[in-house]
Each structure stands twice: as C-alpha cells, then as structure tokens.
Amino acid sequence: MALRFFNTYSREIEEVELRDPTARPVKMYTCGPTVYSRAHIGNFRAYIFEDLLQRHLELRDYKVHRVMNITDVEDKTIRGAREAGVPLQKFTEQFKDAFFVDAHTLRIKRADEYPAATDQRYIDRMIDMINALISKGLAYQADDKSVYFRINKFPDYGKLAHFDLTQLQSTGRVKHDEYDKEHIGDFALWKAWDEADGDVKWDSPWGPGRPGWHIECSAMSTALLGDQIDIHCGGVDNIFPHHEAEIAQSEGVTGKKFVRYWLHCAHLLVDGQKMAKSLGNFYTVPDVLAKGYTGRELRYALLRVHYRVPLNFTWQGMNEARESLARIDEWLARLRQLIGSVRRADRTPQRGMPTTDFEEALDDDLNISAALGFLFESIRETNRAMDQNEMDAASASAWLDWWQRINTVLDLEAETDVAIPHEVARLAEERENARHEKDWKRSDELRERISALGWGVRDTKAGPKLTRGTGSA
C-alpha cells in the first residue's frame, strides 16, 4: 500500500510520494519547544507523533533529515527572564536541558539538528529575509519602528488555515499598538526594542529589536533544509497564525512552494478538559514520573491514539498503558524462552506467521490504533498457540524478528539499564572540566543543574558517577 497522509493544506488524505531520484533524505521540519517553562505532556504528545512519523518513514526505508528548532527568544522567554531577574540565555538554558532530558525519557529520537533562534547565523538570515520581503513590497516598517508582513499582498494567505482575511477583522483582538499596522492581520517580522526587552536586542537596518516568532522558523528551516521542505509538522494550534505566516514569509522570499505536506497533531486533554495550571490538571513529564510511572509507560499512553484525534490523558489510561506493556513483556519472555528450550529438529504445526498488517496500518495516515490492534491480536493468537504447544522455535523466532522490526517504530521494549541522557552527560563533562580548572563555583552550579534534571553526580576515584535521583550520596 502506498503511504497516505492527511495534508492540512488540502484537507485531504493524499498519496505521499517522497522518493527522490537523487536519493536525498526526506526533509522534515518540526516546530520545537519555546523554552520559557518546562514542556508539558501536551507538547510531548506532538513530539511523539513526529517521532512515530520519522520512525515509520525509516522503517519504510526512507532516510529522514529532521530539524527541530528551539524558540529561545520571543515574548514569553523575555518576560520569564525579566521576572526571574536573570539574563535570557541563562533563563532559557535550564528549559532547553529539561526538554532534552524529557525527550530522552520518552525515547524520542534526536533530530539531526536543533537550531536556536538566538544563534547569530540565523538572526542574520532573518534580517536578510525581512530585507527581501521589504524590497518586494511584502513588508513595511510601521510608525512604531517594527516591521510587519503585508498580508494583503500575499494572495495565498489563509489557505493553510482555510479561512479568508475578512474573518480576521471580526476577531476583535486589537492590541494597543495595532493601529500602526495597515491590516489587523499583518504580523510582526521584526519587533522594535522597548524598555521591557531589557538587554535583549540585536542591531538591524530598522533599529535595535528582535525577530518575530514566525520568521525564526522560516529562517532556520530554509537555512538548514533549503527552500523546499517535504514534511512540516506541529500541533494544530500552530496552524494559525504560525504556519500560515511561515508560508507567507518563505514563499514571499523564494517564490517557491515551501512545504509539500503539512501534518498537524490534535490536542491533548486531561480528564476531558483542556490542560490549564488553574485547573490543577497541568502535567509535565516529571509530574507523571513522580506518580510512579515510567517514561516508557507515558510514551505508550501518548502514542496509542491516532494523531488527528484528541487524546484524553487520564491516570486510568496510564494504568492501561502499564497493563498493555506488561502483556508485551510477558509475550516476549515466552517467545524467548521457547526459542531457548525447543530443539531445532522439533516439528510442530505453525500457526499465524507474522504479517505486514502493522506497517500497512501505519502507511494509512499513521493509524497507530489499528497497528497496535494487530500487535495485540498477534500476541493473543501466538499465546494461544504456545498454550497448545503448537508453536515451534522457528516460528517463535520469526515472531521475535517481527517484533524487533516493529519495535524500531514503537520503541517500547523494557530497558534493563537506565541510559544517561545526552544533556546530563554533557553537563557532567562540563563539570569535570570546571573541576580540573578548580572552578568550584562553576562546578557547583553545574551540579545543581544536573540535579534539577533528576540526576545526581558522585565523585569517585574512577571519576564522576551519574545516578538517577538527586541524592549525592
């Protein structure tokens, strides 16, 4: 079966053609976290969907080049740094680290690149793109010194979100500065510096300021993947205005179609309600771990529902995830035991050899619920065959091979050892260097950062040892 995805742009299931005569990798861009607080499980639902998508493409023998940006400058990060009384970089750093640790806990495959918006290379590119838009009449500097995109000059504006511009007039969302703009829907490409920004500013042809959020993604995606991207993902709340703006900016500059397939993940609800701090139903990955669940269990709970269906997170659902994983674990143990105990010469009738149903379900717009349905049906059938001594070692090992293949997508096998997250290892290495230089203050700071990520570091004769949990003993 051909690969089929629902493209937000066409609002249709489309047959996806990603093979390229030059065999270049599939170019995938996924909007990453805004590092002003710890990402919540709703954010991670989208990242797990993207992980599933990448892994399935790889199962289907595509090479994937995935870029995920880190938004480390925009309104919320600036406000957060000001309130915490620390420089922006220091403020965002802790949430960047936490993001990588949580992603590791959830077994999300690392992207090939994680560009950060404050990297001067990308700031320069944003400025170049804004310049190009101004010279084409697609952008203008307003009286407030900020630069805006002129949406009336881009006829396709609104096509992704499927609404027309007149709707924008009726939203009634007028901010104090918006009468500087020609159209209420014109969005900021460059925000002029004001006092609230403190020392967060870059020089530009339009005066000091900082980029708008949307241009950050246009600049980083085209810088790393070129003018045209195969697959662009995000949560449904990114569709408008963020992705709509990305199209307008990127196509405005290059004149080429920016993205072939737009895929968006539906919301996560908690107990049937929108997650909100005020409702007390707002959870991060550590919140879930603190209740005694594992990252593997949370991965399963966030993975098992089709990405276009809202996922209702409940503690009951977490318990079901635990039970489902226990069934997989027992099944694998049984298969392995059978392979180890049965003599090769044994000939028993073979029942229900593995099929390609699992991956075909994923070909169909990543239908994970159907795919998992096939997995558990297979578990039931093979367990029955094993109960009745109707499975030989060869079929058991065929089933195990099958599991190993589909587990490259699921990544749900129990782990015997807790791997150390990359970010924690990096911080520990930095701390070692600080200790060698006898920079004890820096070393202590780094120990605190490691501990904030849920790890402890103990200095032994053989070097530093990292352990889960913050205890230093």
Whole-number Å distance between alpha carbons of 157 and 151: 6
Name the segment binding Zn ion (CB under 5 A); options: 103-111, 214-222, 224-232, 289-297: 214-222
Write down the least CB distance from residue 120 to Zn ion, Å: 19
Name the segment binding Zn ion (CB under 5 A); options: 24-32, 105-113, 320-328, 396-404: 24-32
Interface with Zn ion, residue 229, by CB under 5 A: no
Judged by DSSP in three states, 397 sits in helix
Tokens read off for 236: 């449904």
- Reference 182, options 151, 211, 210; nearest CA is 151
Write down the least CB distance from residue 133 to Zn ion, Å: 17
Angle at 240 between CA 44 and CA 183, to 5 degrees: 150
The CA distances from residue 101 to 107, 133, 147, 168, 428, in Å, are 10, 38, 37, 39, 14
- Reference 393, options 340, 429, 436; nearest CA is 340
Write down the least CB distance from residue 165 to Zn ion, Å: 22
With respect to Zn ion, which residue has the nearer C-beta, 151 or 446?
151
What are the CB-based long-range contacts (under 8 Å, 24+) for 276-283? 282/40, 283/40, 283/41, 283/313
Write down the least CB distance from residue 300 to Zn ion, Å: 27
**Binding test (CB under 5 A) with Zn ion, winner from 39, 108, 217, 385:** 217
Handedness of CA 197, 199, 204, 208 (dihedral sign): positive
Write down the least CB distance from residue 242 to Zn ion, Å: 6
Q: How many residues bind Zn ion (CB under 5 A)?
A: 2
Interface with Zn ion, residue 31, by CB under 5 A: yes
Tokens read off for 273: 């309600």
With respect to Zn ion, which residue has the nearer C-beta, 31 or 225?
31
Burial of 169 (0-12, 13-18, 19+ CB in 10 A): exposed
With respect to Zn ion, which residue has the nearer C-beta, 31 or 147?
31
Name the segment binding Zn ion (CB under 5 A); options: 159-167, 213-221, 258-266, 302-310: 213-221
Q: Are 154 and 258 in contact (CB under 8 A)?
A: no
Write down the least CB distance from residue 232 to Zn ion, Å: 8
Q: Are 314 and 281 in contact (CB under 8 A)?
A: no
Write down the least CB distance from residue 220 to Zn ion, Å: 8
The CA distances from residue 446 to 238, 258, 419, 434, in Å, are 34, 41, 20, 9
With respect to Zn ion, which residue has the nearer C-beta, 115 or 209?
115
Rounded to the nearest angstrom, the gap between the alpha carbon of residue 15 and the centroid of all alpha carbons in its chain is 24
Name the segment binding Zn ion (CB under 5 A); options: 210-218, 249-257, 263-271, 329-337: 210-218
Write down the least CB distance from residue 69 to Zn ion, Å: 6
With respect to Zn ion, which residue has the nearer C-beta, 31 or 219?
31
Name the segment binding Zn ion (CB under 5 A); options: 122-130, 131-139, 216-224, 343-351: 216-224
For 54-81, give the DSSP string: HHHHHHTT--EEEEE-BB-SSHHHHHHH
Write down the least CB distance from residue 217 to Zn ion, Å: 3
Whole-number Å distance between alpha carbons of 441 and 456: 17
Whole-number Å distance between alpha carbons of 216 and 443: 33
With respect to Zn ion, which residue has the nearer C-beta, 200 or 229?
229
Rounded to the nearest angstrom, the gap between the alpha carbon of residue 196 and the centroid of all alpha carbons in its chain is 30
Write down the least CB distance from residue 31 to Zn ion, Å: 3
With respect to Zn ion, which residue has the nearer C-beta, 32 or 295?
32
Residue 107 dihedral angles phi and psi, to the nearest 5° = 60, 30
With respect to Zn ion, which residue has the nearer C-beta, 29 or 154?
29
With respect to Zn ion, which residue has the nearer C-beta, 141 or 250?
250
Name the segment binding Zn ion (CB under 5 A); options: 25-33, 192-200, 382-390, 407-415: 25-33
With respect to Zn ion, which residue has the nearer C-beta, 217 or 219?
217
Name the segment binding Zn ion (CB under 5 A); options: 28-36, 93-101, 142-150, 330-338: 28-36
Write down the least CB distance from residue 77 to Zn ion, Å: 14
With respect to Zn ion, which residue has the nearer C-beta, 241 or 317?
241
Name the segment binding Zn ion (CB under 5 A); options: 31-39, 291-299, 321-329, 377-385: 31-39
Interface with Zn ion, residue 338, by CB under 5 A: no
Footprint of Zn ion on this chain (CB under 5 A)? Answer: 31, 217
